[in-house]
Amino acid sequence: MQNHPVYTDNDPQNELSTLNLGPTHPATHGVFQNVLQLDGERIVSGVSTIGYIHRAFEKIAEHRPFYQITPLTDRLNYCSSPINNMGWHMTVEKLLGIETPKRVDYLRIIIMELARITDHIICNGVLGVDTGAFTGFMYMMEYRELVYEIYEEVCGSRLTTNIGRIGGFERNFNAIAFRKLRKFLKEFPGVLKEFESLFTRNRIFIDRTRDVAAVTAEDALSYSWSGPLLRAAGVDYDVRAMEPYSSYEDFEFEVPVGSNGDVYNRFLVRNEEMWQSLRLIEQALVKLEKEPTDIFHADVPDFYLPPKEEVYNNMEALIYHFKIVMGEVPTPTTEVYHSVEGANGELGFYLVNDGGRSPYRLHFRRPSFINYQMYAPMSRGMLLSDAIINMSSLNVIAGELDA
């Protein structure tokens, strides 16, 4: 790969061709443009252009009260919206000094780990599609549907979930949600096992992915990679373990790491993370049995909207409702950085507050945005077909890339 001759622009023998890979290309699974210089099938250089679905969330957030920013976070990584939603809620709770009850923490962990599984299902399934195996993707997709049905029971929506509120959830988990969750826990491990048996020791899959786009730990750290990509390169950085939030410190789980950061290692790390997520959900269900079943939010009337029937019939609830909606509750003037382990890495929220009803400045540390900048440099010398599977295993989500 390294010994391949590279022609420059001034070279009379230059026979490079330019390829516009994207912005809309069936192989890129999203709005990504890369202008590639190709020598035959090898990539000589590439330039990434991003921002095709830039929606100015940080600017919009400066004009919205805290609780109305949740729907914006849905649209960052829309394959695992609940993690974004809850990351944002926890940031605000940290700012306001709200302590959530344990039951809320455990319920949140269930939803966040389900979201992590759906995200990894898509990433690893699509990696299979790009290497020529459609079956695994379709097979696993059924279980993403089941997870979405659980979201539906909890919050009413599926993809852009707007799940939960500042302080907890807007409603308690019902019996159907728990029944579907148990069904998922019963059936999904077998499916995941079958999925692994389709790929992990598959000769064709290994040949396509092993040593493709290998990244050293030094490079990964220098490019500020985080999440499964960094762990595949051998650095055991997981926000859940390093700075536990939402009571992750009560749980037992392992942080899987890879060795050389290639596409195959990333695949294995993501698969193992799904097993760990299942473990976390199982533990959370056991812990929930000891918690009172009627608690689903913290007692913070200043920030948690009261139930609608009380607003109509109870003066106090009406006042709180009015104060929250009109943003007349004082908030501390300070700044806070909170990060959660998103499906793609460290999802950070840097919130500067001036005491008003909306943030003075809100910045999202978006893992896809930061992970993707290595794509063009690392594609140099790579085969075009390898660059395609490299992109799917980076799991860049356009919404998180552009914000």
Closest C-alpha among 382, 359, 399 to residue 88: 359
Q: Distance between CA atoms of 228 and 261, rounded to whole angstroms? A: 9
Closest C-alpha among 111, 48, 6 to residue 377: 48
**325 in helix, strand or coil?**
helix
CB nearer other proteins, residue 137 or residue 237: 237
CA torsion 286-160-124-189 (nearest 10°) is: 30
Closest C-alpha among 326, 329, 349 to residue 337: 349
Positions in the binding site for other proteins (CB under 8 A): 50-51, 54, 56, 58-60, 62-63, 94, 219, 221-225, 235, 237, 242-243, 334-337, 339, 346, 348, 350, 352, 360-361, 363, 365, 369-370, 373-374, 377, 402-403
Minimum Å gap between C-beta 52 and other proteins is 9
Q: Distance between CA atoms of 144 and 14, rounded to whole angstroms? A: 48
Ramachandran area for residue 260 (φ above 0: left; ψ -120 to 50: alpha; else beta): alpha
Minimum Å gap between C-beta 69 and other proteins is 14
Minimum Å gap between C-beta 224 and other proteins is 3
Q: Distance between CA atoms of 100 and 272, rounded to whole angstroms? A: 30
Contacts of 68 (CB under 8 A, 6+ apart): none
Minimum Å gap between C-beta 86 and other proteins is 18
Minimum Å gap between C-beta 47 and other proteins is 9
Minimum Å gap between C-beta 98 and other proteins is 13
CB nearer other proteins, residue 155 or residue 403: 403
CB nearer other proteins, residue 56 or residue 176: 56
